[in-house]
Chains A and B, each alone.
Chain A
């Protein structure tokens, strides 16, 4: 990151905070703002949400991303030390070539060209405002203003960020990987794994490919961590607003 970009990122961060502060004040004056308690969403609730969310399946192209990777348990590779023999509980067979399967060539290209990405990273606040129609699923209903959308995204990002934990990946080449997640929370603010899909990971290269699935999981854990639930958001801005959110997880620190 060069100096100019750093400054720009800093400005963007300040902009985020300022916008968030000012718009929060105005939003909070709205009568219809539901004052949900910001308690941790217990996962038993999530299971309920999971069941009720069955009518909103993620697009097939997205579902395969990490779902395939995680859902299928490895067969119990008993490693005899040193003599082989045993076979404990049987397990579903390992899908062949699951690694190469993860990024099918037919997957719709969702990434903006490089120059555009750079801009979006600097002026992240404008992301999602008047941007491309990223999803073919949205049912156009009431319009949600750009300002409202900016405010919503700021609040969601601020809620998620404290749980974006890189752990062992911090300080490694994994930090070049930007993960793009789509979350589609329930109207009650709950979010289960089926409502999280991975749109892609960029910046993956030969030196950090080994960390790719861990980076995806770090992003997913950030949105699923019960310590960082969705913030209270106005029900009125659910449709066309926070019902469908795309988050870019950018590891690099603003230093």
Chain B
């Protein structure tokens, strides 16, 4: 069907000429006879959480399990997934009142128009099934509602007691597929639980799932404990304890609950961090007022000294390839960040901004180093390993002790208020957005993320 166009009005001709002149473009508009697609630029995306629907998961057969009835578990699994996605800051789950019941056939054949009508761009469906082998299976399906297309699916089989992990794994699949980032929900956090007044504070090592569930204390609070770190293999935790009034680094075995001294020396050892292969720990040892950085095998042995300056060298952190170590030193007069080879050679300063820089933590992606910047207050920032591209992510009285999520996208830290109040755990996206408090049963400091669980 051919439609002849009316001639262009003088006004429009004038308008076009005017606009082209404004743009200083030399392009000449043809008036007729153009073919091919029309083309334009959509410049500047917005940044909103993605609307996602996570309806309750049905079960092919309602069965009582040690973790509850599978029908009820289907609801709980969906809520765990939804909470994870919401707490990431990147997703805006459709409110429950708009969620529809999903039956088993619909799990693989979603009602796209209905989910579109409630505004969902993505849809997570699934099912919960009790297996004959005494384990629980959670099927997890991710859909693009607008494109009316499945995106990905996976199934997870767990012991009944670990049903939350299946939910975390499903949420991880969804998060990774929709953001392009690595997963991190199926991991844990070890931190220092703090309670009591500032001058008589009780500190205990505690672990919890990333969403705060399955919280437990590993120490009883009779000794001061500080700076726990998960081993990259997840099997042990290193931390500092004032057991017997001797501040020393310990290794705690997660499986057996046993702990042992890392280095038997008559000096304070502190600031322990694992190597990426979990075989070594770098730490600081203070000898007659001089703190230097050492490395020792997790299994023990003779420590190797890596720094040798009169200043305070501490807070060492390995690069993910294990070849380099970033640390802080006040050898220049105030705390600054330095990078050295893993054997201690080639030490060079990377931070040069005003104020002081402390507690560097190398991103598991390798591309950034998070740190605490002091000056006025404590703030969390990131910079590249060569010291360029510094960005400050938070602004508060005292934000300290950054720790990376396994995916290198999210940073945990602790925030201490003025006066006698307890510190709290917070997370911030590496872009500086979405600062969020992590709920803990009591005060909390020194968070450290475990690797993704296996």
Contacts and interface: CB of A to CB of B under 8 A. Distances in A.
- A/B contact in complex, CB under 8 angstroms: yes
Interface of A: 9, 11-15, 18-19, 22-23, 26, 30, 42-44, 46-47, 70-71, 73-74, 76-83, 85-86, 88-89, 91, 120-121, 123-135, 138, 140-150, 152-154, 156-157, 160-162, 164-172, 174-175, 182, 192-193, 207, 210-214, 217-222, 224-227, 235-237, 239-242, 244-254
A226 to B, nearest CB: 6
User: What are the 9 tightest A-B residue pairs by CB atom distance, in nearest-first order?
Assistant: A171-B431, A170-B47, A146-B29, A153-B40, A128-B39, A143-B32, A166-B45, A22-B15, A78-B155
Given A138-B37, A246-B38, A79 B153 contact: no
B144 A146 contact: no
A22 B22 CA distance: 14
Contacts of A217: 144, 147
Interface of B: 1-6, 8-9, 11-13, 15-16, 18-20, 22-25, 27-50, 88, 90, 108, 112-113, 116-117, 119, 121, 129, 131, 133, 135, 137, 139, 144-159, 162, 165-166, 169, 178-181, 367, 429, 431-433, 453-454
A149 B33 CA distance: 11
A130 B27 contact: yes
A169 B179 contact: yes
Nearest to A170: B47
B100 to A, nearest CB: 15
9 contacts: A42-B117, A81-B156, A81-B157, A91-B153, A126-B25, A153-B38, A162-B46, A214-B178, A220-B147
A135 B116 contact: no
A107 to B, nearest CB: 17
Contacts of B90: 167-168
B148 A193 contact: yes
Contacts of A77: 154-155
Given A123-B25, A146-B29, A81 B169 contact: yes
B23 A244 contact: no
Contact of B47 (A78, A171, A247): A171
B36 A134 contact: yes
A18 B14 CA distance: 12
Contacts of B28: 130
Contacts of B25: 123, 125-126
Given A147-B12, A225-B121, A239-B1, A133 B35 contact: yes
Contact of A147 (B4, B16, B22, B113): B16
B131 A86 contact: yes
Contacts of A235: 3
Contact of B146 (A124, A168, A224): A224
Nearest to B175: A168
A145 B153 contact: no
B117 A221 contact: no
A19 B15 contact: yes
B24 A11 contact: yes
A221 B146 contact: yes
Contacts of B15: 18-19, 22-23, 26, 147
Contact of B44 (A15, A134, A219, A252): A252
A46 to B, nearest CB: 8
Contact of B35 (A140, A212, A253): A140
A16 to B, nearest CB: 8
A80 B136 CA distance: 10
A236 B3 contact: yes
Contacts of B34: 129-130, 143-146, 149, 240
